[in-house]
């Protein structure tokens, strides 16, 4: 073999070694020295199935702490104007699958102001006690970890640093659902200071009258559709609506206790109104401090101190209105 042929072989070997070394060095840089990372990913950037897990976690946490403001703040992280409808859709989806998470979702939907007979039926179903799993925040770090393969192009796998999990422990103990009252605006910070609320003391499985919604309209209040509600800007009344377990209007006596301890009569608060009355309520009368609850043999939540006081203007004897909705539910 001539010296020229030997020199050619050596040159080819050197080139091949250089190519192999370059590939190895490039893979080391991409996989070990400088791995691909993505930080500060918003909740809204998660995949749909991961967003669904997040919504269930919000509902589970709300079932524990009953903090509607925090639940709404967390849902806003999804940046979805129709997030309330998503909560309702998930409640129905999980109910069809007999998943206990449907109860938490239905209760959250009702607290967000969405009511229907179907949601009411789901929310009254017994459910496991939620475990208050910590929620991922918008500062969660999602790391792209390349899968090491012999190819030159690594395959990226998205691995969240904190993976959402909503599954309770394997041993599920049925517990009663605590149904939150939907306070509009926020209670007690945006309600008159004299207003107080006492929840009914009932045992699991017992029926009772629950205050599911309470709306306060301040003097000349433009929020929450107050100008279009009964009484208008000059109204000074308390309006009470009664619902059966299926969400339909029902009838029951109203018990209002006067300052002297006697129960108010028809002369004080008027008779129960017909379903065709323009107030679309069961009872309406002049707002006062007297506490009220629902009678008829079932326990009832109680609310009182609803005087003619303007929170926005900090003035007594103002045109204020109160709209209260009670529903017969099972603890």
Q: Show me where the domains of the chain are located.
A: 36-176, 181-330
Q: What is the pLDDT of residue 64?
A: 85
Residue 320's pLDDT is 95
Beta bridge partners of 328: 209
CA 252 – CA 242 distance, rounded (Å): 7
Q: How far apart are CA 226 and CA 232, in angstroms?
A: 7
Quote the pLDDT of residue 159: 53
pTM here? 0.50
Give the residues of the chain that fall short of pLDDT 50.
38, 138-153, 170
Environment class of 147 (CB within 10 Å of its CB; exposed 0-12, middle 13-18, buried 19+): exposed
Distance of CA 221 to the CA centre of its chain: 26
Cα–Cα nearest to 269, from 287, 256, 285: 285
The candidate with the shortest Cα–Cα distance to 143, out of 53, 41, 47, is 41
How much is the pLDDT for 211? 97
Find out whether the peptide bond into 97 is cis, omega within 30 degrees of 0: no
Q: What is the DSSP string of 55-105?
A: HHHHHHHHHHH--HHHHHHHHHTT--TTHHHHHHHHHHHHHHTT-THHHHH
Beta strand segments in 271-319, E = 283-286, 292-294, 302-304, 309-310, 315-316
User: What span, in angstroms and rounded, lies between the C-alpha atoms of 91 and 102?
Assistant: 4
Describe the crossing of helices 83-96 and 48-65 by its angle, rounded to 10 degrees: 90
Beta bridge partners of 311: none
Selection from 202, 205, 227 nearest residue 293 by Cα: 202
Q: What is the dihedral of CA 255, 256, 257, 263, to 10 degrees?
A: -60
What's the pLDDT score for residue 152? 45
């Amino acid at each position: 073999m001539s010296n020229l042929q030997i020199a050619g072989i050596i040159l080819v070997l050197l080139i091949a070694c250089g190519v192999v070394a370059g590939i190895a060095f490039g893979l080391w840089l991409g996989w070990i020295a400088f791995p691909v990372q993505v930080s500060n990913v918003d909740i809204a950037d998660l995949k749909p199935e991961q967003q669904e897990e997040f919504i269930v976690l919000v509902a589970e946490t709300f079932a524990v702490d009953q903090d509607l403001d925090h639940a709404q703040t967390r849902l806003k992280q999804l940046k979805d104007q129709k997030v309330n409808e998503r909560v309702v859709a998930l409640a129905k989806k999980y109910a069809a699958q007999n998943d206990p998470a449907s109860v938490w979702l239905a209760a959250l939907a009702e607290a967000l102001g969405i009511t229907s007979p179907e949601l009411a039926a789901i929310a009254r179903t017994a459910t496991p006690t939620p475990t208050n799993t910590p929620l991922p925040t918008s500062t969660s770090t999602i790391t792209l970890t390349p899968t090491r393969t012999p190819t030159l192009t690594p395959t990226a796998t998205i691995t969240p640093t904190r993976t959402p999990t909503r599954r309770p422990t394997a041993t599920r103990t049925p517990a009663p659902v605590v149904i939150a009252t939907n306070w509009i605006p926020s209670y007690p910070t945006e309600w008159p200071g004299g207003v107080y609320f006492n929840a009914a003391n009932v045992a699991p499985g017992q029926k009772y009258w629950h205050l599911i919604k309470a709306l306060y309209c301040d003097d000349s209040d433009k929020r929450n559709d107050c100008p279009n509600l009964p009484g208008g800007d000059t109204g000074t009344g308390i309006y009470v609506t009664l619902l059966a377990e299926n969400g339909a209007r029902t009838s029951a006596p109203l018990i209002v206790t006067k300052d002297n301890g006697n129960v108010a009569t028809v002369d004080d608060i008027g008779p129960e109104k017909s379903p065709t009355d323009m107030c679309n309520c069961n009872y309406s009368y002049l707002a006062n401090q007297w506490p009220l609850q629902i009678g008829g043999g079932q326990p009832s939540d109680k609310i009182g101190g609803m005087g003619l006081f303007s929170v926005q203007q900090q003035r007594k004897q103002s045109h204020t209105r109160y709209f209260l909705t009670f529903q017969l539910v099972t603890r």
